[in-house]
C-alpha cells in the first residue's frame, strides 16, 4: 500500500534562519552640511558682508565702504511617526517561536532588529526631505516639509549661473563636459573653499564615473582609491562629486556649492535618533514613536550652481 500525502502541504521551514532586516540606503547629507540646532519654529542665519573702497594714502578722513548685516530664515516642520503593534498577531505565525511563554507579551521579540531598521528608515526619510521635500507639490512623506530643490526652483534667478546649465539628462557622452561647465561656473569668491561638493543621485554618479573611465584618463583615480564610497574628486579641481540618496528620483538635478552653505535646522540634534519603543498597557500593544523638527535654508543662493538634467 502506497503512502497517501495528498492532504498535506509541502513543508517550508520558516525557522531555518534568523530574521533579517531590509537593506535601506541611509542619508549622508546631514553629516556634510551645516546643522543648526535649537530651532523650535524658526531661526535666522545671520550674515555679515563688507564692501571695501580703498583710497590713496593721505591726511584727512573720507569714510567709504560699508558693512551689511542681514539674515535668512530657517523654518522647521514638526514631523512624527506613530506605529502600533499588537503582539498577539505574532502568535499566529513563525514568529511565535521567538516569543516568551505565556499570554502577557510586552516587548517585540526582535526589538533590536526592529530598532535598527527604524533608525535607518528615519535617516532615509530625513535625507529625502532635505532634498526633495515639497509641501505644495509633493506626495506622501515628501509633502511634510520643503527641501533644497523646492527652494532652488523658487529662486532660480538668484542662483549662480542657473540659466546656462540646464537641459539634457546626464549621459556618458555629456557627463564630463557638464560637470566641467558647472565647476567653471562656481563664483570666484568661493572657488577656493575646501568643502566644495557636487551633489548628485547615485545613478548620475555612476554615469559620471563611467564617463571618466571611458575618457581613458591616465591619471584617473576613482572613488575606490579615494577613501569614500560613491565619492571622488573631480579631476584637476578641489570639487568633490558625491552621490546622495536624496537626489535619487530628482530628475537629474545636480547641485554644486560649499557644503557649509547648506543649512539643516532642527531642534535637538539627535531627536530623530532618540525614538521610543514602549508597551502601552491601556491598549495592550507595543508602540513606536519618533518625533523631530527639520527645515532647510541656504546662506548664499548666489553661491549655488544648480543643474536640472531633464
The pLDDT, as a whole number, for residue 224 is 54
The pLDDT, as a whole number, for residue 88 is 73
C-alpha 165: how far from chain center: 23
Least confident piece of the model among 78-82, 242-246, 286-290: 286-290
Are 251 and 238 in contact by the 8 Å Cβ rule? The answer is no
Query: pLDDT at residue 21 above 70?
Result: no
Share of the chain above pLDDT 90, in %: 46
The pLDDT, as a whole number, for residue 162 is 64
The pLDDT, as a whole number, for residue 51 is 81
Q: Which helix (H) or strand (E) holds 182?
A: helix 175-184
The pLDDT, as a whole number, for residue 184 is 94
Question: Residue 272 has which C-alpha cell?
Answer: 530623530
The CA distance from 59 to 81, in Å, is 68
The CA distance from 31 to 288, in Å, is 25
- The residue that leads in pLDDT, 86 or 192, is 192
Query: pLDDT at residue 111 above 50?
Result: yes
Confidence of residue 13 (pLDDT cuts 50, 70, 90): very low
Amino acid at each position: 500500500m502506497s503512502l497517501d500525502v495528498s492532504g498535506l502541504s509541502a513543508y517550508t521551514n520558516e525557522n531555518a534562519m534568523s530574521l533579517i532586516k531590509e537593506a535601506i540606503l541611509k542619508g549622508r547629507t546631514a553629516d556634510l552640511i551645516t546643522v543648526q540646532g535649537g530651532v523650535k519654529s524658526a531661526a535666522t542665519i545671520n550674515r555679515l558682508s563688507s564692501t571695501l573702497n580703498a583710497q590713496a594714502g593721505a591726511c584727512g578722513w573720507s569714510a567709504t565702504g560699508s558693512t551689511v548685516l542681514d539674515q535668512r530664515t530657517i523654518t522647521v516642520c514638526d514631523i512624527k511617526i506613530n506605529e502600533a503593534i499588537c503582539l498577539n498577531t505574532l502568535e499566529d505565525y513563525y514568529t511565535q517561536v521567538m516569543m516568551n511563554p505565556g499570554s502577557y507579551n510586552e516587548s517585540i521579540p526582535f526589538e533590536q532588529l526592529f530598532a535598527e531598521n527604524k533608525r535607518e528608515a528615519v535617516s532615509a526619510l530625513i535625507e529625502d526631505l532635505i532634498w526633495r521635500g515639497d509641501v505644495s507639490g509633493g506626495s506622501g512623506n515628501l509633502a511634510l516639509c520643503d527641501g533644497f530643490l523646492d527652494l532652488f526652483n523658487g529662486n532660480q534667478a538668484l542662483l549662480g549661473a542657473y540659466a546656462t546649465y540646464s537641459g539634457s539628462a546626464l549621459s556618458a557622452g555629456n557627463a564630463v563636459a557638464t560637470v566641467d561647465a558647472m565647476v567653471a561656473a562656481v563664483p570666484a569668491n568661493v572657488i577656493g573653499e575646501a568643502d566644495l561638493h557636487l551633489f548628485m543621485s547615485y545613478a548620475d554618479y555612476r554615469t559620471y564615473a563611467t564617463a571618466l573611465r571611458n575618457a581613458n584618463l591616465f591619471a584617473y583615480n576613482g572613488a575606490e582609491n579615494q577613501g569614500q564610497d560613491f565619492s571622488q574628486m573631480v579631476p584637476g579641481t578641489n570639487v568633490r562629486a558625491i552621490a546622495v540618496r536624496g537626489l535619487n528620483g530628482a530628475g537629474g538635478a545636480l547641485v554644486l556649492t560649499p557644503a557649509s552653505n547648506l543649512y539643516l535646522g532642527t531642534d535637538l540634534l539627535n531627536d530623530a535618533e532618540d525614538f521610543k519603543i514602549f508597551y502601552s498597557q491601556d491598549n495592550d500593544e507595543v508602540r513606536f514613536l519618533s518625533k523631530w523638527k527639520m527645515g532647510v535654508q541656504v546662506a548664499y543662493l548666489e553661491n549655488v550652481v544648480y543643474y536640472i538634467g531633464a
